[in-house]
């Protein structure tokens, strides 16, 4: 990272975590590699691996590396003058990540050169600097030490030399950014049994192959082999950097056994507090989160916006999606004033929008919200789950595109308004003497904006359709024109019956019988 510590470009929390083929053709989102080794070879490896018994990765990392703290581990940096393909005029280069801390399983990394030959990368301690850790040569050269992950570098921002824009590190986790963005939420290759009492299984990318780019390459192709006790998989990632960075994912999965929950295109993020759920302690930072809502679009229900929460206890629920068009964990709001955090720069963290590229069938999007008392824990998980039970004898194919963006409105329906922000407040009434007094309700204030509201006069007969679940009542709801945003502000006041149980609340704009907005759906946490 230009000789600086990871914190200089990315947050203290989130640092770790093309014409790739000359003459390649594009079919859908994926190039056809005219090489001796390609996606079909990874598929064959995954299929053969599924027929074998699972072998856990070796984890013989010396204690001097395993017991490093985060800040100590951050001192181990790859020497940028040793970047793979550096000096060849390639638009992408690779930097390796050292094993250490809880990253104690080595990954086998390979390149595919422009003649189609496969070359394995070997761990070399001379490729790294170790700061002032005092790690001995004996430990550095130990048989138990290897490469934990890989950073992909590219001149994404104008005038920049190649800087990190995507990383694969830990299990099947990866992150990417577009122009002017910093790391936030994570994608994962697969999620298995997430949130079940039996415990979650974390499939890992055990081997990767990266096609060497030509000097004219506009995207980078990465193959990955996934392995776990329950499933193996072949993946192709096509990285397309830009203002919005696109990652096209092609996956073929082989089950070793029946899996209760097979989470497709999972996303992992962090929500600590924000206007939807203000901090319980006084702080100058008004919001801390990598994402503040889950957005879902399906053929039957249209667009649904679900603000996130930091619940007092684990909260899980699903929304049926008979035909998923897209879903994502979003960071709505990119004004610095919304966060005021100079170090973390939550205002620059992207949303991730997932769009299926083949037929997924009927299923549901699950949202898992986990209690956390600090911003170092990723406490939000979302994924797609199929309705049908997967037969271990039948291979599975899920292809999708992930867009990392800070311009979320480009991916919304222009015919529908969306919620710019959700604010939570006590309900109140203004007396004749203009004094505000609480009215015993909980209020949610929603600001709807969007081009579909332009030209609608302020005295239009706009209304709000609001409802609550069985654990409460709708005290009142109303909508007023908001001249500051040229949008409409909705007030929803509720009373909950049992504070130990969550309460579902929904609202949308309607004009003369026509739905004018996405549906706002908030699950008020128990004891929250």
pLDDT computed for residue 159 by the predictor? 73
Q: Greater confidence, 508 or 15?
A: 508
Same domain (yes/no): 258, 373? yes
Using CA atoms, how far apart are residues 521 and 257, in angstroms rounded to an integer? 36
Identify the domain boundary among 381, 411, 441. 411
CATH code for position 516: 2.60.40.10
Q: What is the DSSP letter of 377?
A: S
pLDDT computed for residue 368 by the predictor? 98
pLDDT computed for residue 158 by the predictor? 79
Using CA atoms, how far apart are residues 74 and 168, in angstroms rounded to an integer? 16
CB atoms within 10 A of CB 320: 14
**Residue 20 above 50 pLDDT?**
no
**Cβ neighbours of residue 101 under 8 Å, at least 6 residues apart?**
65, 66, 68, 69, 70, 73
pLDDT computed for residue 202 by the predictor? 97
Q: Greater confidence, 33 or 245?
A: 245
**1 domain-assigned:** no
Same domain (yes/no): 266, 125? yes
Identify the domain boundary among 372, 391, 411. 411
Q: Give the DSSP H/E element, type plus range, for residue 338.
A: none
Looking up tokens 């899996």, which residue turns up? 259
Residue 30's pLDDT band, with cuts at 50, 70 and 90, is low
How far is the CA of 438 from the CAs of 141, 428, 525, in angstroms? Answer: 67, 4, 21
Nearest to 445 by CA among 427, 467, 459: 427
Q: Could you list the residue range(s) of the whole structural domain that residue 432 is in? A: 418-524
Burial class (CB in 10 A: 0-12, 13-18, 19+), 258: exposed
**Residue 370 above 60 pLDDT?**
yes
Nearest to 206 by CA among 232, 230, 186: 232
Mean of the pLDDT values across residues 308-318? 97
Q: What is the pLDDT of residues 87-126, one digit of tens each?
A: 888 999 999 999 999 999 999 999 999 888 999 999 999 9
CATH code for position 216: 2.70.98.10
Same domain (yes/no): 432, 387? no
Distance of CA 262 to the CA centre of its chain: 17
Residue 160's pLDDT band, with cuts at 50, 70 and 90, is low
**Residue 6 above 90 pLDDT?**
no
Same domain (yes/no): 383, 451? no
Q: What is the pLDDT of residues 34-88, one digit of tens each?
A: 567 899 999 999 999 999 999 999 888 999 999 999 999 999 999 999 999 998 8
Mean of the pLDDT values across residues 426-452? 92
Residue 146 structure tokens? 């290897």
For 326, list phi and psi in degrees, rounded to 5: 180, 155
Residue 482's pLDDT band, with cuts at 50, 70 and 90, is very high
pLDDT computed for residue 497 by the predictor? 96
**Residue 13 above 50 pLDDT?**
no
Half-sphere exposure of residue 65, counting CA atoms within 13 Å on the CB side? 28
Same domain (yes/no): 233, 266? yes
The CA-to-CA distance between both ends of the chain, in Å, stands at 41
pLDDT computed for residue 31 by the predictor? 60
Same domain (yes/no): 344, 476? no
Mean of the pLDDT values across residues 343-356? 98
Is residue 242 within 8 Å of 219, Cβ to Cβ? no
Using CA atoms, how far apart are residues 287 and 409, in angstroms rounded to an integer? 21
Same domain (yes/no): 361, 390? yes
**Residue 22 above 80 pLDDT?**
no
DSSP secondary structure letters along 200-246: -B--EEEEEEEEPPPTT--SEEEEEEEE-SSEEEEEEEEEE-SSSEE
Same domain (yes/no): 478, 373? no
Mean of the pLDDT values across residues 442-464? 96
Nearest to 259 by CA among 206, 315, 203: 203
**Residue 359 above 50 pLDDT?**
yes
Mean pLDDT of the chain: 92
Q: What is the pLDDT of residues 333-342, one digit of tens each?
A: 999 999 999 9
**386 domain-assigned:** yes
Domain count along the chain: 2
Q: Give the DSSP H/E element, type plus range, for residue 73.
A: helix 70-73
**Residue 8 above 60 pLDDT?**
no
pLDDT computed for residue 145 by the predictor? 97
Identify the domain boundary among 365, 393, 411. 411
Same domain (yes/no): 323, 426? no
**Cβ neighbours of residue 528 under 8 Å, at least 6 residues apart?**
277, 309, 311, 312
Is residue 213 within 8 Å of 254, Cβ to Cβ? no
**172 domain-assigned:** yes
Is residue 341 within 8 Å of 288, Cβ to Cβ? yes
Using CA atoms, how far apart are residues 125 and 110, in angstroms rounded to an integer? 18
Mean of the pLDDT values across residues 131-139? 96
Same domain (yes/no): 405, 422? no
Nearest to 73 by CA among 108, 107, 95, 104: 104
**Residue 29 above 90 pLDDT?**
no
Q: What is the pLDDT of residues 267-304, one digit of tens each?
A: 999 999 999 999 989 999 999 999 999 999 999 899 99
Same domain (yes/no): 403, 422? no
Mean of the pLDDT values across residues 349-357? 98
User: What percent of the chain lies above the pLDDT cut of 70?
Assistant: 93
**Cβ neighbours of residue 22 under 8 Å, at least 6 residues apart?**
114, 214
Same domain (yes/no): 210, 343? yes
């Amino acid at each position: 990272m230009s000789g600086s510590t990871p914190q200089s470009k990315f947050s203290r929390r989130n640092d770790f975590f093309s014409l790739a083929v000359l003459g390649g053709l594009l079919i859908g989102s994926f190039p056809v590699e005219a090489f001796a080794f390609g996606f079909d070879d990874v598929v064959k490896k995954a299929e053969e691996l599924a027929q074998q018994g699972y072998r856990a990765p070796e984890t013989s990392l010396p204690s001097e590396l395993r017991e490093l703290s985060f800040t100590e581990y951050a001192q181990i940096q790859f020497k940028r003058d040793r970047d793979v393909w550096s000096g060849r005029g390639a638009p992408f280069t690779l930097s390796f990540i050292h094993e250490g801390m809880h990253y104690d399983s080595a990954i086998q990394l390979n390149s595919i050169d422009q003649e189609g030959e496969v070359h394995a990368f070997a761990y070399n301690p001379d490729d790294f600097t170790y700061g002032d850790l005092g790690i001995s040569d004996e430990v550095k050269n130990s048989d138990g030490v290897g490469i934990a992950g890989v950073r992909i570098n590219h001149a994404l921002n104008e005038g920049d030399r190649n800087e990190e824009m995507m990383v694969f590190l830990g299990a099947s986790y990866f992150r990417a950014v577009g122009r002017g963005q910093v790391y936030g939420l994570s994608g994962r290759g697969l999620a298995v049994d997430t949130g079940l009492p039996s415990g979650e299984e974390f499939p890992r990318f055990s081997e990767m192959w990266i096609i060497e780019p030509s000097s004219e390459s506009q995207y980078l192709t990465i193959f990955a082999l996934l392995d776990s006790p329950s499933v193996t998989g072949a993946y192709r990632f096509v990285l397309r950097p830009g203002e919005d960075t696109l990652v096209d994912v092609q996956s073929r999965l082989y089950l070793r056994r029946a899996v209760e929950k097979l989470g497709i295109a999972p996303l992992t993020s962090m929500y600590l507090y924000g206007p939807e759920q203000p901090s319980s302690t006084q702080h100058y930072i008004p919001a801390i989160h990598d994402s503040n809502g889950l957005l879902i679009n399906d053929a039957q229900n249209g667009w649904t916006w679900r603000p996130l929460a930091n619940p007092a206890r684990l909260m899980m629920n699903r929304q049926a999606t008979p035909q998923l068009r897209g879903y994502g964990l979003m960071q709505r709001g990119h004004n610095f004033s919304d966060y005021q955090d100079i170090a973390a720069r939550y205002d620059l963290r992207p949303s991730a929008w997932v769009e299926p590229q083949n037929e997924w069938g009927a299923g549901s999007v699950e949202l898992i919200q986990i209690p956390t008392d600090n911003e170092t824990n990723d406490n939000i998980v979302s994924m797609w789950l199929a309705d049908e039970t997967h037969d271990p004898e039948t291979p599975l194919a899920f292809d999708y595109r992930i867009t990392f963006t800070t311009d979320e409105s480009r991916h919304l329906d222009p015919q529908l308004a969306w919620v710019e922000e959700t604010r939570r407040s006590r309900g109140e009434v203004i007396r004749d003497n203009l004094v505000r007094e609480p009215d015993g309700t909980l209020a949610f204030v929603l600001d709807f904006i969007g081009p579909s509201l332009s030209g609608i006069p302020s005295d239009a007969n706009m209304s709000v359709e609001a409802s609550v679940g069985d654990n409460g009542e709708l005290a009142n709801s109303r909508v007023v024109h908001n001249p500051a945003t040229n949008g409409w502000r909705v007030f929803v006041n509720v009373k909950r019956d049992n504070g130990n149980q969550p309460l579902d609340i929904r609202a949308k704009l309607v004009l003369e019988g026509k739905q004018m907005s996405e549906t706002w759906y908030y699950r008020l946490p128990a004891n929250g």
